[in-house]
Chains A and B, each alone.
Chain A
Amino acid sequence: MTASSTKYIISAMLDKLCNSHLHGKKEVLRLSVIALLAGGHILIEDLPGLGKTTIALALAGITNLTFGRVQCTSDLLPSDITGLSIFNRDEGRFTFLSGPIFNNIILLDEINRAMPRTQSAMLEAMEERRVTVEGTTHLLPDPFMVFATQNPSDQSGTFPLPESQLDRFLLCTGIGYPPEHLEKEIIMGGGIREKISSIKPMATATDILAARRAVAEEIYLSEKVVAYIYTLIAATRNHLQIQTGLSTRAAINLAQAAKAAAFLEGRDFVAPEDVKGVAVAVCSHRLILRPEYETAHRGELLRTIIADIPLPLA
Chain B
Amino acid sequence: MNLLLANIIASLSYAIALCGIVPLFPWLTTTPRLAIMAGMAAGIWQNFRGNWPTKNWAYNAAIVPVFLYYSLQYSRANPIQPVVSVLAIMLAIRLGGEKSGRYYLQIQALSLFCLASSSLFDLSPAFLIYLALMLLMVAVELVLLTFYSQDSSMVLSRADLRRVVAAGLFMPLASLPLLVILFPILPRTQLPLWNFLSPAIARTSGIADKVEPGSSANIGETPVLAFRAEMPHQPQATLYWRGTVFNKIVGNRWVRDEMMPFERINSTGPQVTQSIYPEPSLSRTLIALDAPTAISLRRIRRTSDNTYILLGSATKRLSYKAESSTVGILPVANNFKHDFYLQLPADIPPRIRRLADGIQRQGHSDARRIELLEQYFRNGNYRYSLHDLPTGDHALEKFLFDKKQGHCEFFASSFALVLRAAGVPARLVGGYLGGDYNEMGGYYLITEDKAHVWVEVFIAGKGWMRIDPSGFAVNAGAIWGGAPKHNLFRKMQLALDSLNHVWNRAIISYDFESQVDAVRRAGKSLKKLDPGIALKIVWPVVILFAVLIAAFFIIVNRNNLQWPSREERLLRKFYHRLENDCGIKAKRNRQGLYELAAISNNEKVREFVDMYGGVVYRDRKLSADEYKRLKRKLKDGFDKTFQ
A and B co-occur in one complex: yes
List residues of A (213-228) whose CB comes within 8 Å of B's CBs.
220, 222-225
Query: Per-position contact with A for B602-620: 1 when CB-CB < 8 Å, else 0?
Result: 0000000000011011110
A271-B613, A273-B595, A314-B565 known; A307 vs B590 contact (CB < 8 Å): yes
Known: A269-B613, A271-B613. A313 touches B593 (CB 8 A): yes
Instruction: Tell whether A310 is near chain B: CB-to-CB under 8 Å.
Output: yes
A residues 57-110 near B (Cβ < 8 Å) are: none
Bound Cα distance A220, B616 (Å): 11
Neighbouring A residues of B592 by C-beta, 8 Å: 271-273, 276, 311, 313
Do the beta carbons of A265 and B619 come within 8 Å of each other? no
Q: Does B120 count as interface, using CB distance less than 8 angstroms?
A: no
Q: Is A270 a contact partner of B590 (Cβ separation < 8 A)? A: no
**Which residues of chain B are within 8 angstroms of A222 by Cβ–Cβ distance?**
616-619
B591 beta carbon closer than 8 Å to chain A: yes
Provide the residues of chain A in CB contact with B614, threshold 8 Å: 267, 269
Within 8 A of A (CB), among B598-638: 613-614, 616-619
Map CB proximity to B onto A253-287 as digits: 1 under 8 Å, 0 otherwise.
Answer: 00000000000010101111100100000000000
* Residue numbers in A under 8 Å from B590 (CB-CB): 307, 310-311
Do A265 and B565 touch across chains, with their CB atoms under 8 A apart? no
Question: Is the C-beta of B339 less than 8 angstroms from some C-beta in chain A?
Answer: no
Asked if A224 contacts B589 (CB within 8 A), the reply is no
Residues of A with C-beta under 8 A to B568: 314
- Contact size class for B? 10 to 19
Judge whether B591 and A224 touch: CB under 8 Å. no
A314 touching B617 by the CB < 8 A rule?
no
Q: How far is the CA of A179 from the CA of B187 in the complex (A)?
A: 88
Cβ–Cβ contact B616 & A313, under 8 A: yes
**B239 beta carbon closer than 8 Å to chain A:** no
Which chain A residues lie closer than 8 Å to B588 at the CB level? 313
Residues B594 and A271 in contact, CB atoms below 8 Å apart: yes
- Residues of B within 8 Å of A265, CB to CB, are 594
Proximity bits, A188-209, B CB within 8 Å = 1, else 0: 0000000000000000000000
Of the listed residues A270, A271, A310, A314, the one surrounded by the most CB atoms of chain B closer than 10 A to its CB is: A314
Chain A residue, CB-CB nearest to B567: A314
Whether a CB of chain A sits under 8 angstroms from the CB of B571 is yes
CB distance from A24 to the nearest CB of B (A): 19
- Given A273-B595, A314-B571: A220 and B618 interface contact (C-beta under 8 Å): yes
- Indicate if the CB atoms of B571 and A313 lie closer than 8 Å: yes
Contact A311 to B591, CB < 8 A, known contacts A224-B617, A269-B617: yes
Query: What is the minimal beta-carbon distance from B574 to any residue of chain A, in angstroms?
Result: 9
| A181–chain B nearest beta-carbon distance, Å | 21
Residues of A within 8 A of B595 (CB): 273, 276
Mark contacts of B544-571 with chain A using CB atoms, 8 A cut-off: 1 yes-contact digit, 0 otherwise. 0000000000000000000001011011
Which residue of the partner chain A has the closest CB to B609? A271
Q: Which residue of B lies closest to A308 (CB)?
A: B590
Chain B residues 186 to 245 lying within 8 A of chain A, measured CB to CB, are: none
What are the residues of chain B within 8 A of A313 when measuring CB–CB? 567, 571, 588-589, 592-593, 616
Cα of A271 to Cα of B571 in the assembled complex, Å: 16
Residue numbers in A under 8 Å from B619 (CB-CB): 220, 222-224
Return the chain A residue nearest B596 by Cβ.
Answer: A273
Q: A313-B589, A314-B568 are in contact. Are A273 and B616 (CB under 8 A)?
A: no
B residues less than 8 Å from A276 (CB atoms): 592, 595
Bound-state CA distance A265–B597 (Å) is 13
Greatest chain A CB density within 10 A among B565, B568, B592 is at: B592
Alpha-carbon gap, A223 to B570, bound state (A): 20
Asked if residues A311 and B613 are in contact (CB atoms below 8 Å), the reply is no
Alpha-carbon separation in the docked complex, A220 to B619 (Å): 9
Contacting A at CB under 8 A, from B561-587, are 565, 567-568, 570-571
Task: Report yes or no: B593 in contact with A271, Cβ–Cβ below 8 A.
Answer: yes
The complex places the Cα of A272 from the Cα of B590 at a distance, in Å, of 10
B-chain residues with CB within 8 Å of residue A224 when the two chains form the complex? 616-617, 619
Check if B589 sits within 8 Å of A271, measured CB to CB.
no
CB nearest neighbor in B for A314: B567
Q: How far is the CB of A278 from chain B (nearest CB, A)?
A: 13
Residue contact A270 to B567, C-beta cutoff 8 Å: no
Smallest Cβ-Cβ distance to A224: which chain B residue: B617
In angstroms, how far is the closest chain A Cβ from the Cβ of B95? Answer: 48
Q: Closest CB of chain A to B613's CB: distance in Å?
A: 6
Please indicate the chain B residues that have their CB under 8 angstroms from the CB of A269 in the complex. Answer: 613-614, 617-618
Most chain B CB neighbours (cut-off 10 Å) among A222, A224, A267, A313: A313
Q: How distant is the Cα of A154 from the Cα of B544 in the complex, in angstroms?
A: 78
Contact A220 B594, CB 8 Å, known A313-B571, A314-B567, A314-B568: no
* CA gap between A64 and B215 in the complex, in Å: 131
Max chain A Cβ within 10 angstroms of own Cβ: one of B565, B571, B589, B617: B617
**Across-interface contacts of A311 in B (CB, < 8 A):** 589-592
| A288 CB → nearest B CB, Å | 27
B594 touches A225 (CB 8 A): no
Report the nearest B residue to A270, measured CB to CB: B617
The complex places the Cα of A312 from the Cα of B592 at a distance, in Å, of 8
In the bound assembly, the distance between CA atoms of A307 and B587 in angstroms comes to 11
Q: In the complex, are the beta carbons of B589 and A310 less than 8 A apart?
A: yes
Cβ contacts B363-376/A at 8 Å (1 or 0 each): 00000000000000
> Nearest residue in B to A262 (C-beta to C-beta)?
B617
**Are A225 and B617 within 8 A (Cβ)?**
yes
In A287-313, which residues have CB < 8 Å from any B CB? 307, 310-313
**Nearest A residue to B620, CB-CB:** A222
- Complex alpha-carbon distance, A231 and B594, angstroms: 20
Min CB distance B188 to A, Å, is: 58
- Nearest chain A CB to B240 CB, angstrom units: 81
Residues in A whose Cβ lies below 8 Å from that of B565: 314
A52 to B613: give the CA distance in the assembly, Å: 36
On chain A, the residues within 8 Å of B613 by CB distance are 267, 269, 271
Q: Mark A105-144 against chain B: 1 for CB-CB distance below 8 A, else 0.
A: 0000000000000000000000000000000000000000
Distance, CA A310 to CA B588, complexed state (A): 8
B613 to chain A: closest residue by CB: A271
Bound complex: CA A224 to CA B612 (Å): 14
CA distance A222 to B617 in the complex (A): 5
| A223 CB contacts on chain B under 8 angstroms | 619
What are 16 pairs between A and B in contact, CB < 8 Å? A223-B619, A269-B617, A270-B617, A271-B592, A271-B594, A271-B617, A272-B592, A272-B617, A273-B593, A276-B592, A312-B616, A313-B571, A313-B589, A313-B592, A313-B616, A314-B571
Top 8 A-B pairs, shortest CB-CB distance: A314-B567, A273-B592, A310-B589, A222-B619, A269-B617, A273-B594, A222-B617, A314-B568
Using CB atoms and an 8 Å cutoff, list the residues of chain B in contact with chain A: 565, 567-568, 570-571, 588-595, 613-614, 616-619
Q: A269-B613, A271-B594 are in contact. List 5 more A-B contacts (CB 8 A).
A: A220-B617, A222-B618, A310-B589, A313-B616, A314-B570
